[in-house]
Amino acid sequence: MRRAKVVGTGMYVPERVVTNHDLEKLMETTDEWIQKRSGIKERRFAADWETPADMAKVAALRALADAGLAISDIDCIVLATLSPQHEFPGTSFFLHELLDAPEIPCFDLRAQCTGFLYSLATANSFVRSGQFDRVLVMGVEIHSMGIELTTRGRDVAVLFGDGAAGVILEASEGGAEDPGVIEVRLHAEGKHARKLWIEAPGCALKPTRVTAEMIADGRIYPKMDGKFVFKNAVTRMPEVLHETLSAASKKLEDVDLFLFHQANLRINEYVANALGIPAEKCLNNIERYGNCSAASIPLLLAEARESGLAKPGSLVAMAAFGSGFSWGCGLLRL
């Protein structure tokens, strides 16, 4: 059976560390509030010169080096982001330029914090169908430029950070227990799109997409109904995890590592407790990086492989919930 297996992972986070104490200087907040509510201690912010494509390039080159491949070996680039480099074209095209890629297709995928899993599912289908042999799947975010670093925006601003990470999927022949993506289940509920969103600029805002008044009112910054998001996340993540495991005829106990989206440590602790997952099987890096949306899960995966926690043969379950609402779960054997 044709499968898509992970042959390389790579990550990059900017050098600049922004602690909760640094945020205390910009808005009315406290290290204690942030840690208690979210588990976050610090996050990274991109340098002035750094673009999303610059960050994705470093992560992609590391993934290629890890796989022992060159960009000329890649057949397609799928890049998930909610903080694009420009309105259009997608960030993937600027990454394509920086990687000096041959004339392979690339595109951006917009599924917010579930973006990496949507991209993984897409790449998996490309490989399994035989359309491509190797796909580079990236998640990258520069949130620091899109959040309101003032008291008005504090409920959202303290949660997010910048980062980039990705994986390379390669075609292989094997059975159900061999390395490869086993199952990816995806869901959405668009009726809650406005519960976590950035409204402007947008083509729904006629006639000019954005006005000076909208900017002054902060409608260009993310708005979130935090409690509603929390409640949905802790329901949907276990639901989709069960659905995915059951589709793969696996049990929770079979999973070696759980990589949950890094929105809030409390969400992940709640989910792990509810499912009876031992803490050591549940990796988190939110305390160091905050929520890096589409980059969060591949950051975890890259760190887990680098540290040796994820080994060849490990069964890894990844689950995410985010704006859209969107949610999903991916199961893979390394």
The CA distance from 197 to 213, in Å, is 18
| Phi, psi dihedral angles at 181 (to 5 degrees) | -70, 130
- Closest by CA to 250, choosing from 169, 330, 173, is 330
Residue 192 in the binding site for ligand COA (CB under 6 A): no
Residue 230 in the binding site for ligand COA (CB under 6 A): yes
The answer to whether 297 and 119 have CB atoms below 8 angstroms apart is: no
Q: Which of 123, 233, 255, 332 binds ligand COA (CB under 6 A)?
A: 233
Tell me the C-alpha to C-alpha distance, in Å, between residue 331 and each of 4, 6, 141, 261, 293. Answer: 12, 12, 23, 14, 19
Q: Which range binds ligand COA by CB under 6 A, 58-66, 71-79, 137-145, 223-231?
A: 223-231
Using CB under 6 A as the criterion, what x/- string covers residues 277-296 for binding ligand COA?
Answer: --------------x-----
Q: Least CB distance from residue 214 to ligand COA, whole Å?
A: 22
Task: Determine whether 113 is an active site residue.
Answer: yes
Closest CB to ligand COA: residue number: 226
Q: Which of 154, 236, 288, 305 binds ligand COA (CB under 6 A)?
A: 154
Residue closer to ligand COA, measured from CB, 224 or 309: 224
Q: Which of 261, 282, 284, 292 is catalytic?
A: 261
- Bridge partners (DSSP) of residue 321 are 327
Cα-based angle 110, 291, 193 (whole degrees, multiple of 5): 40
- Bridge partners (DSSP) of residue 331 are 183, 317
Residue closer to ligand COA, measured from CB, 38 or 62: 38
Residue 227 in the binding site for ligand COA (CB under 6 A): yes
By the 10 Å C-beta count (0-12 exposed, 13-18 middle, 19+ buried), 155 is classed as middle
Q: Which of 282, 291, 292, 329 is catalytic?
A: 291
Task: Determine whether 261 is an active site residue.
Answer: yes
| C-alpha torsion sign, points 79, 82, 83, 87 | positive
Q: Least CB distance from residue 85 to ligand COA, whole Å?
A: 21
- Bridge partners (DSSP) of residue 258 are 282, 317
Q: Which range binds ligand COA by CB under 6 A, 65-73, 125-133, 181-189, 227-235?
A: 227-235
The CA distance from 141 to 293, in Å, is 7
Which positions touch ligand COA (CB under 6 A)?
29, 33, 37-38, 113, 154-155, 158, 196, 224, 226-227, 229-230, 233, 263-264, 267, 291, 322
Residues with catalytic roles: 113, 261, 291
